[in-house]
Structure 1
Amino acid sequence: MFKSVAPTDIANNRAAHNQEQPSPVLGKGNNSEVNGYRQSSPIVAGGNMNDVNSQQRVLMKEQRLEDIKNQCSELISELDSDDDPEAIVKKHISQLKKYNELKDIALGLVTMIADQRKLRTTDILEEMKVELADD
Protein backbone atom coordinates (compact mmCIF):
# COMPACT_ATOMS: atom_id res chain seq x y z
CA MET A 1 0.00 0.00 0.00
CA PHE A 2 2.66 2.55 1.06
CA LYS A 3 6.16 2.57 -0.31
CA SER A 4 8.96 3.00 2.21
CA VAL A 5 11.12 6.03 1.52
CA ALA A 6 14.83 6.25 2.24
CA PRO A 7 16.58 9.56 2.97
CA THR A 8 18.50 9.22 -0.28
CA ASP A 9 15.20 9.04 -2.20
CA ILE A 10 14.18 12.39 -0.71
CA ALA A 11 17.51 14.00 -1.59
CA ASN A 12 17.37 12.63 -5.15
CA ASN A 13 13.79 13.85 -5.55
CA ARG A 14 14.74 17.34 -4.35
CA ALA A 15 17.74 17.46 -6.69
CA ALA A 16 15.58 16.40 -9.64
CA HIS A 17 12.91 18.94 -8.72
CA ASN A 18 15.42 21.80 -8.40
CA GLN A 19 16.88 21.28 -11.87
CA GLU A 20 15.74 23.91 -14.32
CA GLN A 21 13.29 22.48 -16.82
CA PRO A 22 11.15 24.27 -19.34
CA SER A 23 7.68 24.81 -17.98
CA PRO A 24 5.01 25.25 -20.63
CA VAL A 25 2.35 27.85 -19.97
CA LEU A 26 -1.10 26.34 -19.78
CA GLY A 27 -3.97 28.63 -20.64
CA LYS A 28 -4.10 32.24 -19.44
CA GLY A 29 -2.27 33.75 -16.47
CA ASN A 30 0.81 32.49 -14.65
CA ASN A 31 -0.27 28.85 -14.31
CA SER A 32 2.53 26.47 -15.24
CA GLU A 33 3.33 22.81 -14.89
CA VAL A 34 6.67 21.54 -13.59
CA ASN A 35 7.38 17.82 -13.21
CA GLY A 36 3.67 17.09 -13.46
CA TYR A 37 2.67 19.52 -10.67
CA ARG A 38 0.53 22.54 -11.42
CA GLN A 39 1.89 25.80 -10.01
CA SER A 40 0.00 29.07 -9.84
CA SER A 41 2.85 31.39 -8.87
CA PRO A 42 5.86 32.36 -11.00
CA ILE A 43 9.09 30.39 -10.69
CA VAL A 44 11.94 32.35 -9.12
CA ALA A 45 15.51 30.98 -9.10
CA GLY A 46 14.58 27.31 -8.83
CA GLY A 47 11.59 27.84 -6.50
CA ASN A 48 8.39 29.81 -6.36
CA MET A 49 7.48 33.03 -4.56
CA ASN A 50 6.06 31.08 -1.61
CA ASP A 51 9.52 29.57 -1.08
CA VAL A 52 11.04 33.07 -0.99
CA ASN A 53 8.41 34.26 1.49
CA SER A 54 8.95 31.16 3.60
CA GLN A 55 12.70 31.74 3.63
CA GLN A 56 12.18 35.36 4.69
CA ARG A 57 9.84 34.28 7.49
CA VAL A 58 12.35 31.67 8.65
CA LEU A 59 15.13 34.28 8.71
CA MET A 60 12.92 36.68 10.68
CA LYS A 61 12.01 33.92 13.16
CA GLU A 62 15.68 32.99 13.57
CA GLN A 63 16.57 36.63 14.27
CA ARG A 64 13.75 36.87 16.82
CA LEU A 65 14.99 33.67 18.47
CA GLU A 66 18.50 35.13 18.75
CA ASP A 67 17.07 38.30 20.33
CA ILE A 68 15.14 36.26 22.87
CA LYS A 69 18.22 34.16 23.66
CA ASN A 70 20.22 37.35 24.27
CA GLN A 71 17.51 38.73 26.57
CA CYS A 72 17.44 35.43 28.48
CA SER A 73 21.19 35.43 28.95
CA GLU A 74 21.09 39.03 30.21
CA LEU A 75 18.35 38.17 32.71
CA ILE A 76 20.20 35.07 33.85
CA SER A 77 23.36 37.08 34.40
CA GLU A 78 21.37 39.59 36.47
CA LEU A 79 19.89 36.80 38.58
CA ASP A 80 23.22 35.04 39.00
CA SER A 81 24.93 38.11 40.39
CA ASP A 82 26.64 37.58 43.70
CA ASP A 83 24.95 40.53 45.41
CA ASP A 84 24.42 40.20 49.11
CA PRO A 85 20.72 39.55 49.87
CA GLU A 86 20.81 42.09 52.70
CA ALA A 87 22.13 44.74 50.32
CA ILE A 88 19.30 43.97 47.88
CA VAL A 89 16.71 44.34 50.66
CA LYS A 90 18.26 47.62 51.85
CA LYS A 91 18.24 48.98 48.30
CA HIS A 92 14.62 47.96 47.85
CA ILE A 93 13.60 49.62 51.12
CA SER A 94 15.38 52.85 50.20
CA GLN A 95 13.62 52.86 46.81
CA LEU A 96 10.27 52.34 48.54
CA LYS A 97 10.98 55.24 50.91
CA LYS A 98 11.84 57.49 47.96
CA TYR A 99 8.66 56.43 46.16
CA ASN A 100 6.49 57.14 49.21
CA GLU A 101 8.08 60.57 49.68
CA LEU A 102 7.40 61.50 46.05
CA LYS A 103 3.85 60.21 46.28
CA ASP A 104 3.22 62.27 49.44
CA ILE A 105 4.58 65.41 47.76
CA ALA A 106 2.38 64.83 44.69
CA LEU A 107 -0.70 64.27 46.83
CA GLY A 108 0.10 67.45 48.80
CA LEU A 109 0.24 69.44 45.54
CA VAL A 110 -3.07 67.96 44.38
CA THR A 111 -4.60 68.89 47.76
CA MET A 112 -3.35 72.48 47.39
CA ILE A 113 -4.92 72.69 43.91
CA ALA A 114 -8.19 71.27 45.27
CA ASP A 115 -8.24 73.82 48.13
CA GLN A 116 -7.54 76.70 45.76
CA ARG A 117 -10.31 75.65 43.36
CA LYS A 118 -12.66 74.68 46.24
CA LEU A 119 -13.06 71.13 44.96
CA ARG A 120 -12.53 67.70 46.45
CA THR A 121 -9.14 66.05 45.98
CA THR A 122 -10.80 63.10 44.22
CA ASP A 123 -12.35 65.52 41.69
CA ILE A 124 -8.91 66.91 40.86
CA LEU A 125 -7.45 63.41 40.54
CA GLU A 126 -10.30 62.39 38.20
CA GLU A 127 -9.71 65.54 36.14
CA MET A 128 -6.01 64.60 35.86
CA LYS A 129 -6.99 61.00 35.04
CA VAL A 130 -5.00 59.66 37.97
CA GLU A 131 -6.09 56.39 39.52
CA LEU A 132 -5.35 55.74 43.16
CA ALA A 133 -4.77 52.00 43.40
CA ASP A 134 -4.07 50.35 46.70
CA ASP A 135 -1.97 47.36 45.57
Structure 2
Amino acid sequence: MTSPLLPPSTPSSTSTSSFSSISTPSTTSFRFATPSSTSSSHSAQVTTEDRINSLKEEVERLRAQLGDKDPHKIVQKHIELLHTYNEIKDGTQALIGKYALMTNSTIKDVHEELELPLTD
Protein backbone atom coordinates (compact mmCIF):
# COMPACT_ATOMS: atom_id res chain seq x y z
CA MET A 1 0.00 0.00 0.00
CA THR A 2 1.36 3.45 -0.89
CA SER A 3 1.28 6.46 1.39
CA PRO A 4 -0.95 9.35 0.27
CA LEU A 5 1.97 11.73 0.89
CA LEU A 6 4.47 9.83 -1.23
CA PRO A 7 4.14 9.42 -5.01
CA PRO A 8 4.39 5.93 -6.45
CA SER A 9 7.94 4.88 -7.21
CA THR A 10 7.15 4.25 -10.87
CA PRO A 11 4.78 6.21 -13.05
CA SER A 12 1.52 4.50 -13.81
CA SER A 13 1.08 3.79 -17.49
CA THR A 14 -2.65 3.15 -17.12
CA SER A 15 -3.38 6.50 -15.54
CA THR A 16 -6.30 8.42 -17.04
CA SER A 17 -5.48 11.60 -15.14
CA SER A 18 -5.21 14.89 -16.98
CA PHE A 19 -1.63 15.02 -15.70
CA SER A 20 -0.60 11.84 -17.52
CA SER A 21 1.66 13.83 -19.84
CA ILE A 22 3.78 14.91 -16.87
CA SER A 23 6.48 12.38 -16.26
CA THR A 24 8.21 12.01 -12.95
CA PRO A 25 11.49 10.19 -12.54
CA SER A 26 11.26 6.94 -10.68
CA THR A 27 13.78 8.23 -8.14
CA THR A 28 11.50 11.10 -7.09
CA SER A 29 10.37 10.75 -3.52
CA PHE A 30 9.22 13.18 -0.91
CA ARG A 31 11.00 12.98 2.41
CA PHE A 32 10.06 15.16 5.31
CA ALA A 33 12.78 16.34 7.66
CA THR A 34 12.39 15.26 11.23
CA PRO A 35 12.84 17.73 14.09
CA SER A 36 15.83 15.73 15.28
CA SER A 37 17.62 16.22 11.98
CA THR A 38 21.10 17.54 12.72
CA SER A 39 21.43 19.61 9.56
CA SER A 40 18.20 21.53 10.12
CA SER A 41 18.95 22.14 13.80
CA HIS A 42 22.42 23.36 12.87
CA SER A 43 21.04 25.81 10.30
CA ALA A 44 18.41 26.97 12.80
CA GLN A 45 21.14 27.51 15.37
CA VAL A 46 23.22 29.51 12.88
CA THR A 47 20.16 31.57 11.98
CA THR A 48 19.42 32.18 15.67
CA GLU A 49 23.03 33.16 16.32
CA ASP A 50 22.97 35.52 13.33
CA ARG A 51 19.78 37.10 14.64
CA ILE A 52 21.28 37.53 18.11
CA ASN A 53 24.42 39.10 16.66
CA SER A 54 22.44 41.51 14.48
CA LEU A 55 20.32 42.54 17.49
CA LYS A 56 23.46 43.11 19.57
CA GLU A 57 24.88 45.30 16.79
CA GLU A 58 21.64 47.28 16.66
CA VAL A 59 21.71 47.81 20.44
CA GLU A 60 25.29 49.09 20.21
CA ARG A 61 24.37 51.41 17.33
CA LEU A 62 21.44 52.83 19.30
CA ARG A 63 23.59 53.28 22.41
CA ALA A 64 26.18 55.14 20.35
CA GLN A 65 23.42 57.33 18.92
CA LEU A 66 22.17 58.08 22.43
CA GLY A 67 25.66 59.05 23.54
CA ASP A 68 26.37 59.84 27.17
CA LYS A 69 22.85 61.11 27.79
CA ASP A 70 20.84 59.57 30.60
CA PRO A 71 17.73 57.88 29.14
CA HIS A 72 15.70 58.80 32.24
CA LYS A 73 16.54 62.48 31.79
CA ILE A 74 15.57 62.33 28.10
CA VAL A 75 12.18 60.82 28.98
CA GLN A 76 11.64 63.41 31.72
CA LYS A 77 12.43 66.24 29.27
CA HIS A 78 9.92 64.85 26.76
CA ILE A 79 7.27 64.63 29.48
CA GLU A 80 7.92 68.25 30.48
CA LEU A 81 7.63 69.37 26.86
CA LEU A 82 4.35 67.48 26.46
CA HIS A 83 2.97 69.16 29.59
CA THR A 84 3.97 72.57 28.25
CA TYR A 85 2.37 71.82 24.88
CA ASN A 86 -0.86 70.66 26.51
CA GLU A 87 -1.04 73.76 28.73
CA ILE A 88 -0.59 76.04 25.71
CA LYS A 89 -3.16 74.09 23.71
CA ASP A 90 -5.69 74.21 26.57
CA GLY A 91 -5.23 77.98 26.91
CA THR A 92 -5.62 78.44 23.16
CA GLN A 93 -8.81 76.39 23.10
CA ALA A 94 -10.22 78.47 25.97
CA LEU A 95 -9.50 81.68 24.03
CA ILE A 96 -11.08 80.23 20.88
CA GLY A 97 -14.17 79.33 22.93
CA LYS A 98 -14.44 82.87 24.35
CA TYR A 99 -13.96 84.38 20.89
CA ALA A 100 -16.71 82.10 19.55
CA LEU A 101 -19.06 83.35 22.31
CA MET A 102 -18.22 86.98 21.60
CA THR A 103 -18.89 86.61 17.87
CA ASN A 104 -21.95 84.36 18.27
CA SER A 105 -20.31 81.61 16.24
CA THR A 106 -19.34 78.04 16.94
CA ILE A 107 -15.90 76.78 17.81
CA LYS A 108 -15.94 74.88 14.52
CA ASP A 109 -16.58 78.14 12.64
CA VAL A 110 -13.66 79.81 14.45
CA HIS A 111 -11.38 76.89 13.60
CA GLU A 112 -12.38 77.18 9.94
CA GLU A 113 -11.97 80.97 10.00
CA LEU A 114 -8.45 80.65 11.43
CA GLU A 115 -7.67 77.64 9.19
CA LEU A 116 -7.01 75.42 12.21
CA PRO A 117 -7.48 71.65 12.16
CA LEU A 118 -10.65 70.39 13.80
CA THR A 119 -8.90 67.31 15.22
CA ASP A 120 -5.62 66.81 17.02
Please state which band the TM-score falls in when normalised by the shorter chain.
0.3 to 0.5
Structure with more strand by fraction: 1
Normalised TM-score (structure 2): 0.45
Normalised TM-score (structure 1): 0.40
